[in-house]
């Protein structure tokens, strides 16, 4: 995909940047920057509460993003709760779900989908194999013991593995439990079919979908909306307030207290439009080619150990280590060459410990990356590995 021209962070004085940290946050195309700029310069107004033209226009553009999110995940707009990000979305389920007594999650979850469940009365963490897959029989055993919720990522941000959602959702529902899917890593290129799969809750973030920081969403299926209560109270989420009583708005607005990140949400809508023009299928195919190229070239370097799944159906990232070199040192050295990677546990320390390893190096890809980026990365990694060896 020849789209680098659309991204100011790769143009002009930044033309030499090789940005390979998109699993952490993505670069923003010009259309997103323009949409945010429109609101800040021309469209600034409160949404939902005003009846003057500027407020109505801002509200229309704000609500159109809700509709675009719903279309992207094949859900209904009334099922889309706008949040400050995926972490906030998961927090809403953790704190708002009535009678939550038993949760199952996995060792490969991002900390935002791991830490919240640790103080639930009955919680169980499932292990994964080297390809990042859980054992369905073990999950079934847990479910037969009585579970309220299964919380699982769609794509690991370390292994790149794609979980078998169709089987996991079916098994979870067969035993009367609900499921929360963390789709933060997959949303931009492999959005789960929320309605078709029958997912109960889905969390995602704008900043991993070429959008601004500060906004995200929790998709809440209609049949479980009455089981979720608001965790924040204030303006907009109420339809009326009297001396000692108040009336909530209908979902999704009853879960959205206070003034939202309006410019971020509007920018997110522009990002989804941009992604839609490229098409999820086209994005997924292109990123798969880049990931295969990176994995194959890195695997051929002496002293490099791949951490990522061997399954060809994987997310657009490769994690690895170099024998004799600390991950942080590698990333600092390459950063001086304008090659930007991520080092550490990637907010998934339990998974690293489960795999018996320390911090890793992660290269992650998006539509603005090219085969030349991959070659530049692997050439430098090969050079470092030779020195370390």
Q: How far apart are CA 372 and CA 369, in angstroms?
A: 8
Return the active site residues: 347
Residues 245 and 374 in one domain: no
Which pLDDT tens digit goes with each residue over 290-310? Answer: 999 999 999 999 999 999 898
308 belongs to a structural domain: yes
Q: How far apart are CA 63 and CA 69, in angstroms?
A: 10
Query: Mean of the pLDDT values across residues 343-372?
Result: 97
257 belongs to a structural domain: yes
Task: Say if residue 1's pLDDT is above 90.
Answer: no
Which pLDDT tens digit goes with each residue over 372-386? Answer: 999 999 999 999 999
CATH number, residue 378: 3.90.1150.10
293 belongs to a structural domain: yes
Domain of residue 9 covers: 4-21+280-388
Which of 228, 250, 277 corresponds to the end of one domain? 277
155 belongs to a structural domain: yes
Residues 88 and 227 in one domain: yes
Phi-psi region at 130: left, alpha or beta (left = phi > 0; alpha = psi -120 to 50)? alpha
Query: Mean of the pLDDT values across residues 75-79?
Result: 98
Residues 145 and 114 in one domain: yes
Degrees to nearest 5, angle at CA 198 with 193 and 204: 50
Which of 277, 293, 326 corresponds to the end of one domain? 277
Res 50: pLDDT: 86
26 belongs to a structural domain: no
Task: Say if residue 233's pLDDT is above 80.
Answer: yes
Which of 225, 254, 277 corresponds to the end of one domain? 277
Share of the chain above pLDDT 90, in %: 96
CATH number, residue 191: 3.40.640.10
Query: Mean of the pLDDT values across residues 215-237?
Result: 97
Which pLDDT tens digit goes with each residue over 156-208? Answer: 999 999 999 999 999 999 999 999 999 999 999 999 999 999 999 999 999 99
Res 333: pLDDT: 98
Residues 310 and 185 in one domain: no
Residues 318 and 180 in one domain: no
Task: Say if residue 389's pLDDT is above 80.
Answer: no
Look at residues 352, 288, 351, 359 and name the one whose alpha carbon lies nearest to residue 134. Answer: 351
Residues 95 and 218 in one domain: yes
Look at residues 179, 173, 178 and name the one whose alpha carbon lies nearest to residue 153. Answer: 179
Res 296: pLDDT: 97
Res 147: pLDDT: 98
Q: Categorize the per-residue pLDDT at 120 as very low, low, confident or very high, splitting at 50, 70 and 90.
A: very high
317 belongs to a structural domain: yes
Residues 42 and 135 in one domain: yes
Residues 297 and 232 in one domain: no
Q: How far apart are CA 160 and CA 152, in angstroms?
A: 14
What is the rounded average pLDDT for all residues in the chain?
Answer: 97
89 belongs to a structural domain: yes
Task: Say if residue 121's pLDDT is above 90.
Answer: yes
Residues 260 and 284 in one domain: no
Task: Say if residue 104's pLDDT is above 80.
Answer: yes
CA 156 to the chain's CA centroid = 10
Task: Say if residue 107's pLDDT is above 90.
Answer: yes
Query: Mean of the pLDDT values across residues 44-49?
Result: 92
CA 192 to the chain's CA centroid = 12
Task: Say if residue 335's pLDDT is above 80.
Answer: yes
Res 184: pLDDT: 98
Counting the structural domains of the chain, the total is: 2
206 belongs to a structural domain: yes
Residues 195 and 285 in one domain: no
Residues 212 and 292 in one domain: no
Residues 243 and 354 in one domain: no
């Amino acid at each position: 995909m020849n789209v680098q021209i659309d991204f100011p962070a790769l143009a002009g004085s930044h033309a030499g940047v090789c940005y390979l940290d998109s699993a952490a946050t993505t670069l923003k195309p010009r259309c997103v920057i323009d949409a945010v700029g429109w609101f800040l310069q021309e469209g600034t107004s409160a949404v939902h509460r005003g009846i003057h033209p500027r407020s109505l226009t801002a509200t229309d553009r704000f609500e159109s993003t809700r509709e675009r999110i719903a279309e992207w995940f094949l859900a209904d707009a009334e099922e889309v709760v706008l949040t400050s990000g995926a972490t906030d979305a998961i927090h809403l389920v953790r704190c708002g779900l009535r009678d939550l007594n038993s949760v199952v999650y996995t060792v490969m979850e991002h900390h935002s989908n791991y830490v919240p469940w640790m103080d639930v009365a009955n919680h169980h963490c499932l292990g994964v194999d080297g390809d990042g897959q859980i054992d369905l029989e073990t999950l079934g055993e847990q479910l037969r013991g009585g579970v309220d919720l299964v919380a699982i990522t769609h794509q690991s941000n370390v292994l790149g593995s794609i979980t078998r959602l169709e089987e996991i959702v079916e098994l979870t529902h067969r035993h009367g439990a609900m499921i929360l899917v963390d789709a933060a890593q997959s949303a931009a290129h492999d959005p789960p079919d929320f309605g078709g799969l029958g997912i109960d809750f889905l969390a995602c973030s704008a900043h991993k979908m070429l959008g601004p920081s500060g906004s995200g969403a929790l998709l809440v299926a209609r049949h479980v909306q009455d089981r979720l209560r608001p965790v924040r109270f204030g303006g907009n989420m109420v339809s009326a307030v009297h001396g000692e009583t108040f009336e909530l708005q209908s979902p999704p607005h009853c879960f959205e207290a206070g003034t939202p990140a309006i410019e971020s949400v509007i920018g997110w809508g522009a990002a989804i439009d941009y992604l839609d023009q490229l098409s999820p299928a086209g994005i997924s195919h292109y990123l798969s080619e880049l990931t295969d190229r990176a994995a194959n070239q890195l695997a051929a370097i002496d002293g490099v150990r791949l951490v990522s799944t061997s399954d060809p159906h994987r997310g657009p990232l490769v994690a690895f280590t170099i024998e004799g070199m600390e991950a942080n040192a590698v990333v600092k050295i390459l950063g001086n060459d304008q090659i930007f990677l991520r080092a550490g546990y990637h907010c998934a320390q339990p998974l690293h410990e489960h795999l018996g390893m320390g911090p890793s190096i992660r290269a992650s890809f998006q539509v603005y990356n090219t085969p030349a980026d991959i070659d530049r990365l692997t050439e430098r990694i090969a050079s470092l590995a030779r020195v370390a060896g």
